[in-house]
Amino acid sequence: MSTAIAAAVDDAVGELVPLVGAKAGCAAVGVARASFYRARPAGKATAAPSPEPERKPQVQPRALSEAERAAVLEVLHSKRFADAAPATVYATLLDEGTYLASESTMYRLLRERGETGDRRRHATHPAKVKPELVAASPNQVWSWDITKLAGPAKWTYYYLYLILDIFSRYPVGWMVASRESATLAERLIAETVRKQQADRNQLTLHADRGSSMASKPVAFLLADLGVTKSHSRPHCSNDNPYSEAQFKTLKYRPDFPDRFGCIEDARVFCDRFFAWYAHDHRHSGIGLHTPADVHYGRAHTVSEARGRVLDAAHAAHPERFVRKPPQSPKLPAAAWINKPQDKEEPTQ
C-alpha cells in the first residue's frame, strides 16, 4: 500500500473510530482492520469512542402508580384474600364489578416481594403422644398384633393374632384365621381376658393403628371390660417392640416353612411353637427364665434353685471363679414400652 493511500485510509477510518469504533469504521470504508493498523504511523493511538450518555429509565406510561400498586397489595394481603390465588382474587373482584389490575400484574407485584409460593395457611396437628407403659407384674400390660403367614399359593395368606404379656413374654392368647377382622379380634380379646381373669381397670392393651386394632368394636369391648387401650404412634414400629420381636422369633425358627399347605398346617405349627416358647424357651429378656415360669410366679423358685447349684459349684472349685461367686441372671423388676430417659430400672 502506497504512502498516499495509507494516509487516506488512516484519515477516513480515523474520523469514524471515535464515533463507531475501529471495526465498524473499517467496515464502512471497506478496508480490512489489519491494513488500517499497518497504515497508522507508529505511536499513534486510536482514539477511544466517546462514552454514551447515561440513559435515564423511561417511565412506562401504562404502569400502575405507587398508590395503585399499594391498593392492589392491600387487597391481596387482606384477610379475605390472604389464602387465595391471584387468579381467584382477579375473578372475584370482576364479579363484584371491580378492576384493580390484571392477573399477571398481581403475580408480578407478589413476585417482587417473594410471595408467589403457596400462600395458604397450612393446618398444623399436634404430634401423637409417645406411649410410655410399664408393667411390674403379669397381666398389667399386654401387647397384641397381627402378622401374615404365607399360604399355599401366591397372594394367599393366613393371619396370626397374638396377645403377649410384656412382663412375662407369655403368649396369653393367639389365633390363626383366614382373614383380618375386628370381630375375630374382639372375640380373641374377650376370651383371653376371661381366661386370665384380669380385673377391671387392671390391664392396658397396647397395639399399633391397624384397622382391626383401631376399630370401634374393639374399642367398645375394651371399655366394657374395663381395659385401657393404648396405640403406637403412626408409622412407628418401635412403639410395639414385644410383638415385633416375638414374630421375628417365630419366623426365624429353623422349621418355619416358606408356605403353609393349609390353615390347619399353620395352626398345628403355631400350637407347637407357642408351647415351646412358653414352657421351654429361656428368654434373655427375663433372666433366662421361661415365660410360663415368670407369668405364673415360679421364676423366684427356679432362681433360688439355680443359686444353690452355683453355690455348690463355687464351693467345689473356688479357684475357677476369680472375680466373684457366680450368680444366676436377675429377673427385671419392670418391663417398659418407651422407658423415659430419667427412669432407672431396678432388678429383683
Write the burial class of residue 61 (CB in 10 Å: 0-12 exposed, 13-18 middle, 19+ buried).
Answer: exposed
Q: How far apart are CA 300 and CA 305, in angstroms?
A: 9
The residue ranking higher by pLDDT, 37 or 47, is: 37
What is d(CA 237, CA 36) in angstroms, rounded to the nearest whole number? Answer: 84
pLDDT in tens, 156-208: 999 999 999 999 999 999 999 999 999 999 999 999 999 999 999 999 999 99
16-25, 27-36, 45-54: which range is least confident on average? 45-54
Of 56, 50, 7, the closest CA to residue 31 belongs to: 7
Confidence of residue 151 (pLDDT cuts 50, 70, 90): very high
Identify which of 154, 234, 224 has the alpha carbon closest to the alpha carbon of residue 189: 224
Q: What is the pTM of this model?
A: 0.63
Q: Give the pLDDT band of residue 10 (cuts 50, 70, 90).
A: low
How many CA atoms lie less than 13 Å away from 343 in the CB half-sphere?
A: 14
| Unique residue bearing C-alpha cell 392492589 | 72
84-99 mean pLDDT: 91
**pLDDT higher than 90, residue 226:** yes
Model confidence band, residue 41 (pLDDT cutoffs 50, 70, 90): low
292-305 pLDDT, tens digit per residue, is 999 999 999 999 99
| Cell 429509565 sits on residue | 57
C-alpha cell at 262: 393349609
The amino acid at 281: H
Of the ranges 39-48, 188-197, 251-260, 271-280, which one carries the lowest mean pLDDT score?
39-48
Higher confidence at residue 96 or residue 348?
Answer: 96
| pLDDT value for 345 | 55
How confident is the model at residue 255, as a pLDDT?
94
141-150 and 204-207 strand pairing: parallel
The H-or-E segment that residue 175 falls in is strand 171-177
